[in-house]
Amino acid sequence: MKWFKYDTLYVNGSSLTAGGGLGNSDIKEEYKKLYNLEWTDEKNVTYPKYVADYFGLKLIHKALCGSGAPRLVRETYEYIINEGIDKAKKTIFLLEITDPIHRVDVYCNQINDYVIANVRYDNDYSYDSKISSIQIQRAVTKHGDIYESEYFEGKISDEIKDYLNKYHNPVAYTEKYYGEVAGLLSFMKQLDLTFFYMFNEHTLKNVVSFFYNDIKNHEIRIDGHNCINQFAGINKLTIKDELNGASSDLHPGYFGNKQFSEKLIPALEKLLKPKVIAFGDSHTQSFLEMCNSKMSWAVDYVNYIKEIPKNYIQNISEHFDNLEIDNYGRGGISNQTIFDTFISNKHNINPKDILIFGWTTESRFRISNESNSFVDIIPFSAHPKQNDDVSKITTDEIAVNKLTYNVWWTEIMNYIKIIEDLFPNNLIYHWTWVNNKTQWSNRLWSEEMLNDKHIIVVKDDFNQYEVNYREIILDNAEILYDFSKNINDYNIHEDFKKTNKIIIINFNESNHQHLNYLTKNNLKVRYLTPTDYKKTCYEKFIPYKKYNTIYEETNGAVDDLHTSRTGHQELAKDLLMYIESDIKQGNNKKNVKISLL
Amino acid sequence: MLKYLYSNGSSLSAGGGLYELGNKIEYKKLYNVTWENEKDVTYPKYVSDYFNLNLIHDAECGSGAPRLVRRTYEHIEKIGLSEAKKTLFIFEITDPIHRIDMFCKKIDDHVIVNARYDDNANIENLSVVYSYSPTNRNYSNDIFVGEVEADVQQYLTKYHDPVVYSNKFCGELVGLFSFMEKMGLSFFYMFENEFLRNPYKEFYDDLDEKHKIFIDDDCTSSSHFCLKNKLTIKDELNGFTGDTHPGYFGYKKFSEVVISNILRRIS
């Protein structure tokens, strides 16, 4: 699974996940007798192990018999803190959450670690209930020291029981975890970690149901069952069932765990597998759709090569074992429509999804037709005019303006900023087929500027400007002042008697006297900036490359400049290089660093 | 539209020291100011009055992050999400190390346990109270003297590590704030020191812009502010007491800082 960005499966939960019962020697003997099955560590025959093996993940199996929400919350925070956010982002968290009522998390100084105290009450739902029995579970400390349950019997369990009888209330203890579990899951959501939860009971969910309604897509339900014990119980896959009553243990059995994992794996795969969501114009829309809509160039090309080629989105999907595709590419649309399409469909985007934007030429734009709907204008083409009030000359003139001044590329930069702000955790890629060369207008003066005696001021360091642009500026100046040089004698009012084309360069380097000159003399000024907005915008794209066209591939037999089959393969290859590298790095865009002091 | 102000914190928010009768008499004598309930002269009261909000003043002397986390969740659960969205939450957060939140069956409620440790991390002294304030107390603290204190001390000695306990709340606090952020609740916080923030520094760096009460470069809490500006009870009473909790005028002045922080972020 090349799309898979995880390396670890972290699991926490109770005996239902820890293989409760499957570690008992009499039960193991019975499985050997009946099914010829053997295992040393019961965790190796639990559903988390099968999940980890399927996805090739390192398994951190922290589920323990007797454990409940308190230990789960504490240990999950500890894991995130100790491993750090980068590692946590490469981890899938699978949390099986049980009520805290009989599962008290107690620190024990004698072993310098926490122990699980399983308590039974004479009445679970009363503030006055007394503890009828207590068992401290076998503990493995963080240093690897093992303390069997018997170690705690007597003094320690008596002391804990005595304390809990006086200073612990099962109802109040449970109530504390309504918030604590929601808090942990909120935190994981905030960090955009990949987590899934199952609740064994609904006690902890009900009070804050408004929260769980909000994070439903993290809940695991298999065949409608909210937890493995329900699944095993209903499907007669408990230890008791599998051993034909030789044991009364109702924990999920060997086959219960296996079958549960077989259902869980595809469910997880579906939840984890990204979609490729693409926005763009005809270079992004599939060839099949183009042919279906009878685009002549597409039909001619398909007839020529005698197949419907895959476009770059399909190539990318295929590379990642056929990822689902949402392709919103549509021939002839403008960048405004591309962005609009994104806005209209953003609710379908999940953080795991890969977004690809193929931006089009800046010369396209929209007007309204007579039906009060937007239509995209493809200028300088044989298309009919789209609104009787707007002549072809007008749309062509607007297009010339858009092609002449690269400030129009700031529109795309702003779209990109919004997209990235809305989806900070997605893998997002931008590209365009539009040539990356910037054109500068040769004409800096308008009639109005000349009539009103404007001067052009180049504030910044003139050497920052592209050579072509510098030449254009020099060509447009009949009188040029370089304020970085020591000029003492000038009179712009006098100069205006000779010409109206006066340009000042390196204005920001001028001394105070020069700066005041313009204000004191009430001169009208137009400022130029050196920014090549197109170049800046292309820095947001994958590096520009001219991909093979249909014309080139067919040696001119099909006279069309759309990206060819080969071009789509090249483009897919380039995008895949970035996607795979980001998957490998875990796409840790938020980069929140945490560490325990 | 906000309707309520919920405040939680320690004595620095609860009017610690201002419930002492001697101090109250001295304030009357020096400034002719009086009050019945010390919470009425703390910054949460002034802030709620300024914004015309109903005040739920849940700060308690001796309380720390553990009680703050528990009580805040309880409050949200009790009033429900829609009322919580009409609530402005202000938190003043102190370390859990000396401030243990514990249930006590004798009163069927939680108590505040304040433990002090010696250099070897042994408990040097310990107090168990429902509330230090005589004004807001449902139970006499005398009922905890003796048996309860001895039980608690014995238990903490064997089944509690102050550092482990404190570390646990680093996570629980970011959980609370993440939950409130996810639910779109309005909240502000200030930390007495950096201990609970440090492990999640960048998480807080992100959150601070919206939620931190900025005081000045040297101060992160009402305590720092009053010490710096000589507005502690000790300062205001000209050394009549050694109590360095925020004073009557300290709270008044500090409330202006909180109000301007809120005004800047909530329109």
B219 CA to centre of own chain? 16
CA-wise closest residue to A24 among A224, A222, A246: A246
Same domain, A319 and A404: yes
Local structure of A313: helix, strand or coil: helix
Boundary-marking domain end, from A513, A531, A549: A531
Which residues of chain B does A178 touch, with a Cβ-Cβ cutoff of 8 Å? 73, 77
A591 domain residue, yes or no:
no
The confidence score (pLDDT) of residue A126 equals 65
Query: Residue B200: exposed, middle, or buried by beta-carbon count in 10 A (0-12, 13-18, 19+)?
Result: buried
Q: Is A112 on the interface with B (CB under 8 A)?
A: yes
CA-wise closest residue to A124 among A138, A106, A103: A103
Same domain, A324 and A239: no
Chain A residue with minimal CA distance to B160?
Answer: A107
Local structure of A416: helix, strand or coil: helix
Reported as type and span, the H/E element at residue A376 is: strand A374-377
Cβ count within 10 A of residue A416: 18
Cα(first)–Cα(last) distance of chain A, in Å? 37
Local structure of A228: helix, strand or coil: helix
The domain that holds A61 is classified in CATH as 3.40.50.1110
Nearest residue, CB atoms, A169 vs list B73, B103, B165: B103
Enter the tokens of residue B186.
């309005």
A550 CA to centre of own chain? 34
A159 domain residue, yes or no:
no
Same domain, A17 and A67: yes
Which residues of chain A does B171 touch, with a Cβ-Cβ cutoff of 8 Å? 73-74, 77-78, 80-81, 184, 187
HSE (CB half, 13 Å, CA atoms) of A332? 14
Same domain, A550 and A471: no
Same domain, A94 and A217: yes
Dist. CA A286–CA A306, nearest whole Å: 16
Count residue pairs from A and B with Cβ separation < 8 A.
136
DSSP string covering A67-86, please?
A: --HHHHHHHHHHHHHHH-HH
The confidence score (pLDDT) of residue A459 equals 84
**Would you call B199 and A595 a contact, using CB atoms and an 8 Å cutoff?**
yes
- Model pTM? 0.82
**Would you call B72 and A179 a contact, using CB atoms and an 8 Å cutoff?**
yes
Q: Note the ipTM here.
A: 0.93
Closest CA–CA distance from residue B211 to any residue of chain A (Å): 15
What is the assigned CATH class of domain B4-96+163-265? alpha beta
Dist. CA A395–CA A365, nearest whole Å: 9
**Would you call A109 and B81 a contact, using CB atoms and an 8 Å cutoff?**
no
Name the region of A251 (left: φ>0; alpha: ψ -120 to 50; beta: rest).
beta
Q: In this structure, what are the phi and psi dihedrals at residue A246, rounded to the nearest 5 degrees? A: -65, -20
The confidence score (pLDDT) of residue A34 equals 97
Nearest residue, CB atoms, B172 vs list A183, A594, A596: A183
Nearest residue, CB atoms, B179 vs list A127, A176, A183: A183
A304 domain residue, yes or no:
yes
User: Which residues of chain A are under the pLDDT cut of 50?
Assistant: 588-597
Dist. CA A327–CA A329, nearest whole Å: 6
Dist. CA A52–CA A39, nearest whole Å: 17
A549 domain residue, yes or no:
yes
Residues, chain B? 267
A133 domain residue, yes or no:
no
**Would you call B172 and A169 a contact, using CB atoms and an 8 Å cutoff?**
no
Q: Which residue has the tokens 């069956």?
A: B105
**Would you call A165 and B105 a contact, using CB atoms and an 8 Å cutoff?**
yes
Judged against a pLDDT cut of 70, whether residue B82 lies above it is answered with yes
A134 domain residue, yes or no:
no
The domain that holds A574 is classified in CATH as 3.40.50
Q: How far, in Å, are A304, A547, A551, A553, A569 from residue A560 at the CA level?
A: 12, 13, 5, 10, 18
CA-wise closest residue to A200 among A15, A51, A9: A15
For residue B70, what are the contacts with CB-CB under 8 A and spacing of at least 6? Answer: A176, A179, B101, B110
Closest CA–CA distance from residue B104 to any residue of chain A (Å): 4
A174 domain residue, yes or no:
yes
Closest CA–CA distance from residue B140 to any residue of chain A (Å): 18
The confidence score (pLDDT) of residue A419 equals 98
Cβ count within 10 A of residue B114: 17
Dist. CA B15–CA B133, nearest whole Å: 9
**A residues 138-167 near B, CB within 8 Å?**
159-160, 163, 165-167
Residue A331 structural domain: 276-438+535-585
Same domain, A24 and A78: yes
Local structure of A91: helix, strand or coil: strand
Enter the tokens of residue A477.
């100046």
Same domain, A301 and A369: yes
Q: How far, in Å, are A188, A389, A396, B95 from residue A400 at the CA level?
A: 50, 19, 6, 65
pLDDT tens digits for range A188-217: 999 989 999 999 888 899 889 999 998 998
**Would you call B171 and A109 a contact, using CB atoms and an 8 Å cutoff?**
no
**Would you call B202 and A208 a contact, using CB atoms and an 8 Å cutoff?**
no
Strand order of the β-sheet with A103-108 is A103-108, A113-121, A131-136
Boundary-marking domain end, from A246, A272, A298: A272
Nearest residue, CB atoms, B182 vs list A168, A186, A595: A186
Same domain, A525 and A549: no
**Would you call B171 and A73 a contact, using CB atoms and an 8 Å cutoff?**
yes
Name the region of B184 (left: φ>0; alpha: ψ -120 to 50; beta: rest).
left
Strand order of the β-sheet with A427-432 is A325-327, A276-280, A354-359, A427-432
Cα(first)–Cα(last) distance of chain B, in Å? 10
Contact of A587 with A425, CB cutoff 8 Å: yes
Reported as type and span, the H/E element at residue B55 is: strand B54-57
Strands A131-136 and A479-482 turn out to be unpaired
Same domain, A252 and A304: no
Amino acid (1-letter code) at residue B235: D
Contact of A186 with B174, CB cutoff 8 Å: no
A517 domain residue, yes or no:
yes
pLDDT tens digits for range A432-466: 999 999 989 999 999 999 988 889 999 888 888 88
Same domain, A244 and A309: no
Boundary-marking domain end, from A531, A548, A569: A531
Closest CA–CA distance from residue A116 to any residue of chain B (Å): 12
The confidence score (pLDDT) of residue A308 equals 97
Q: Sign of torsion, CA B16 B21 B27 B33? A: positive
Same domain, A230 and A85: yes
Local structure of A253: helix, strand or coil: coil
Dist. CA A366–CA B107, nearest whole Å: 72
pLDDT tens digits for range B128-160: 999 999 887 888 889 999 999 999 999 999 999
DSSP string covering A443-476, please?
A: ----HHHHHTTEEEEE-S-GGGS-HHHHHHHHHH
The confidence score (pLDDT) of residue A176 equals 93
**Would you call B199 and A178 a contact, using CB atoms and an 8 Å cutoff?**
no
Nearest residue, CB atoms, B161 vs list A109, A167, A182: A109
Q: How far, in Å, are A443, A499, A501, B45 from residue A477 at the CA level?
A: 11, 10, 5, 68
For residue A149, what are the contacts with CB-CB under 8 A and spacing of at least 6? Answer: A135, A136, A137, A138
Same domain, A73 and A177: yes
Local structure of A528: helix, strand or coil: strand
A429 CA to centre of own chain? 11
Identify each DSSP E strand in B150-216 by its residue range: 186-191
**Would you call A167 and B151 a contact, using CB atoms and an 8 Å cutoff?**
yes
Query: Residue B202: exposed, middle, or buried by beta-carbon count in 10 A (0-12, 13-18, 19+)?
Result: middle
Closest CA–CA distance from residue A107 to any residue of chain B (Å): 5
Local structure of B39: helix, strand or coil: helix
Amino acid (1-letter code) at residue A38: E
Residues of chain B with CATH 3.40.50.1110: 4-96+163-265
For the stretch B45-50, contacts whose Cβ atoms lie closer than 8 Å and that sit 24 or more positions apart, written own/partner, are B46/B251, B46/B252, B46/B255, B46/B259, B47/B5, B47/B90, B47/B255, B47/B258, B47/B259, B47/B262, B48/B5, B50/B255, B50/B259
**Would you call B159 and A109 a contact, using CB atoms and an 8 Å cutoff?**
yes
Provide the number of structural domains found in chain A: 3
The confidence score (pLDDT) of residue A586 equals 67
